[in-house]
Amino acid sequence: MKTNPSWFLRRFPSGMPRPDDFVLEQGRIPNPGPGELLVKSLWLSVDPYMRGRISPAKNYAAGLKVGDLMLGGGVGEVLRSEDPGFRTGDIVQSDCFGWQTHTVIPAKTAIILDPEQAPVQTSLGCLGMPGLTAYFALLRTARPKLGETVLISAASGAVGQIAGQIARIKGYDPVAIAGTDEKIAWCKELGYRTGINHRTASDLAAAVAESCPNGVDVFIDNTAGPVHDAAMSNLNVFGRVVVVGTVALADRFDRPDIGLRHLRRILIQRARIEGFLLDDFASENAIAKAELSEWYKRGLLQTREDILDGIESVPSAFVRMLKGENFGKQLVRL
């Protein structure tokens, strides 16, 4: 009988998650009920939001409990369908995959993919959740004007690489913050005007000032932490900060986030800081996906993936992404 290797949460991580916070068990291949699909996983996505789901701290979505199956986005092939909208052999994307080789997913969460249009794993990256996040954070939340300086952290990552390219397409002035010189060099190939290595800059605020001589009009904050402080001290009048993510806090979820206080700057610059959640834009997803797909087809959106292979590597992929060891969208291929 075939087994179904599956990853479960062994304990809530203390500080930075480690691969041994998860345990691999051999389960049985489940049977789908009415309205469900049995899928064979082809690609699994590891994303920073999962750090919040494996913490007892309050979050915008319900978290996992110790002993629960790890969940995330994935792409798979339908082996059995108990829903009239899907057939055996369809390739589908859903955010309800388990970290396992075979998953039962609710059919209503699944989208059928067309491999002729784009490689199916792009539905987990530039044409999926990260791409949509970049689109809505930049165009609907920050709403930059032509020529404005748009500073983007985690710039080579899944969200950042798309945000920078949209900024270039729209005629803004994108500036990257990333963690290695290689990442900065690639960001420039994508169309970022320049970039700052936040791991080697001796004075981050000065580095931002040098790279953004006209100040920062828009800051797409994918990380929080010291990068956030450096951007805030360069914010222009009527500057807009979109807080998209706090991945820099992955190792201190259980401790207060200590940084500088920026209230004087916010007051003087009449700046706006806004939290962002992709779910709030669900009604506009189809429009954004169509525009992203069009740019992709025309060769205006490049994407870089960082791929590990095999079900065994899912926790390592997750941890290396949180530590910034990924170069591009972190995926696991099964």
Ligand X SMILES: NC(=O)c1ccc[n+]([C@@H]2O[C@H](COP(=O)([O-])OP(=O)(O)OC[C@H]3O[C@@H](n4cnc5c(N)ncnc54)[C@H](OP(=O)(O)O)[C@@H]3O)[C@@H](O)[C@H]2O)c1
Is residue 105 near ligand X by the rule CB under 6 A? no
77 versus 325: smaller Cβ distance to ligand X:
325
Pairing of strands 91-98, 272-275: unpaired
Minimum Å distance from CB 235 to ligand X? Answer: 18
Q: Which stretch binds ligand X (CB under 6 A): 84-92, 107-115, 149-157, 308-316?
A: 149-157
Between the CA of residue 329 and those of 2, 46, 139, 179, what are the distances in Å? Answer: 31, 9, 21, 15
User: Looking at residue 140, what DSSP letter applies?
Assistant: I
Interhelix angle for 158-169 vs 181-190, to 10°? Answer: 30
Minimum Å distance from CB 162 to ligand X? Answer: 8
Binding-site size for ligand X (CB under 6 A) equals 34
Site for ligand X in 174-233 (CB under 6 A): 178-180, 183, 198, 222-223, 225, 227
Is residue 276 near ligand X by the rule CB under 6 A? yes
Minimum Å distance from CB 185 to ligand X? Answer: 13
Is 146 buried (19+), middle (13-18) or exposed (0-12) by CB count in 10 A?
exposed
Is residue 277 near ligand X by the rule CB under 6 A? yes
The sign of the dihedral angle between the CA atoms of 186, 190, 191, 195 is negative
Query: What values do phi and psi take at 6, rounded to 5?
Result: -140, 140
Is residue 158 near ligand X by the rule CB under 6 A? yes
102 versus 198: smaller Cβ distance to ligand X:
198
Tokens 């087994």 belong to: 3
The encoded tokens of residue 268 equal 């003087």
Q: Which stretch binds ligand X (CB under 6 A): 112-120, 206-214, 265-273, 325-333?
A: 325-333
Identify the residue among 76, 130, 131, 164 touching ligand X (CB under 6 A): 130
CB 195 within 8 A of CB 188: yes
25 versus 274: smaller Cβ distance to ligand X:
274
107 versus 155: smaller Cβ distance to ligand X:
155
Is residue 332 near ligand X by the rule CB under 6 A? no
36 versus 47: smaller Cβ distance to ligand X:
47
Minimum Å distance from CB 143 to ligand X? Answer: 17
Between the CA of residue 90 and those of 4, 76, 82, 99, 110, what are the distances in Å? Answer: 20, 8, 13, 20, 10
H helices of the chain, where? Answer: 49-53, 129-135, 158-169, 181-190, 204-211, 226-232, 263-269, 285-297, 314-322
Is residue 245 near ligand X by the rule CB under 6 A? yes
Distance CA 333, CA 80 (A): 21
Identify the residue among 54, 244, 317, 334 touching ligand X (CB under 6 A): 244
Tokens 């389960």 belong to: 27
Q: Which stretch binds ligand X (CB under 6 A): 74-82, 209-217, 264-272, 319-327?
A: 319-327
Q: Which stretch binds ligand X (CB under 6 A): 85-93, 127-135, 207-215, 297-305?
A: 127-135
Closest to 127 measured CA to CA, from 326, 244, 293: 293
Residues that bind ligand X (CB under 6 A): 47-49, 129-130, 133, 154, 156-160, 178-180, 183, 198, 222-223, 225, 227, 244-248, 276-278, 321, 324, 326, 329-330
